Amino acid sequence: MTLWPVARAPMPAAMSAPARGQRLVKVAYHSFPPCCPARASHAPPLHMPGGAGRTMSNRRGSTNRSDAWQREARNTGYRTRSAFKLKQIQERFGLIRRGDTVLDVGCHPGGWSQVAVEEVGEDGAVIGVDLKGCAPVDGCTFVVGDITDEGTQQRIRDALEGDVLRVVVSDISPGLTGQYEMDQAISTELVCSVFDFAYPLMGSGGVLVTKVFQGRGIEALISAANTRFSTVQRFSPDASRNSSSETYLVCRNRKEKPSKGTGTMSVQELVNRSLADDGFVIPAGESDERREAGRVGFRLVKSTSGDDE
């Protein structure tokens, strides 16, 4: 398991009470500085706030089921229990075909790459990318680096040797800080990066599967994904932990061109525009120092009513 370093945001400084006509609003920062390199393969699951309220019996049931997948992974030779998530996605949708070229983003320790190699067969190709190197998997080429880094992206293009990607699978996650809104926002940023890098390398009709965390921004992300793919739906494999907020976007039939009306906007720009419309993105005028302080913070905004809320 690779945990990409993500700086923990400092606690907000003590703030004076808002003046009349203003209210204190917690906002998620989705316009990130390039200080958070791309992010982790199969990291620990992100849990929804309030998970501590689960009963002991529920937690025990979730743990037992998790242990069952871990035992099954050991028995079948997969490097990680999460391999069964991709197997279940494949069983449900049949996305990977014989002879396909597949990119596995956030591939360490290689469980998803093992599944992809099985599905593409001898005539296919699998490329895995992660910050941390993996032990070799027959039939897979590993690229070590940050998926958001141009140098890493070029090495992936070189490994393709002119082939067109038909399938992109991503189980990528940030190094978790324990602050749910921050972790969920950084995860959304990472997923946008995967979309924006992979889309130009994919052929018409291609498919992309990526892990996402439930929360603010997911509807905007789905809307943006629909500008690139004809069908976008959520799917939660049985192998996912009950307590995890993760789900997977299954994006099928890559469009030859992005939908009309989106111009040249990237997926990240489309998501940020939607979040800005809802008041959740830091305005461009905010200082760089404020942006770099963290992903979740506080600011004063004018209340829509004449009285404090």
At 226, the amino acid letter reads N
What is the distance in angstroms between the CA of the first residue and the CA of the last residue of the chain?
44
Both tokens assigned to 225: 């994904």
Whether the CB-CB separation of 187 and 213 falls below 8 Å is answered with: yes
Q: Cα separation of 48 and 275, whole Å?
A: 20
- Alpha helix positions (H), the chain: 56-76, 83-93, 111-120, 150-160, 180-198, 218-225, 267-277, 288-292
- Look up tokens 């070029």; give the residue: 154
Q: Cα separation of 234 and 117, whole Å?
A: 24
Give 138's contacts (C-beta < 8 A, 6+ positions apart): 117
Whether the CB-CB separation of 46 and 214 falls below 8 Å is answered with: no
User: In 10 A of CB 152, how many CB atoms?
Assistant: 20
How many residues belong to the chain?
309
The Cα-based distances of 157 to 119, 191, 250 in angstroms read: 22, 19, 23
Give 31's contacts (C-beta < 8 A, 6+ positions apart): 272, 281, 282, 284, 291
DSSP state of 12: P
Whether the CB-CB separation of 172 and 41 falls below 8 Å is answered with: yes
Active site residue 257: no
DSSP state of 156: H
At 260, the amino acid letter reads K
Which residue out of 26, 85, 211, 257 is catalytically annotated? 211
- Would you name the residues annotated as active-site residues? 211
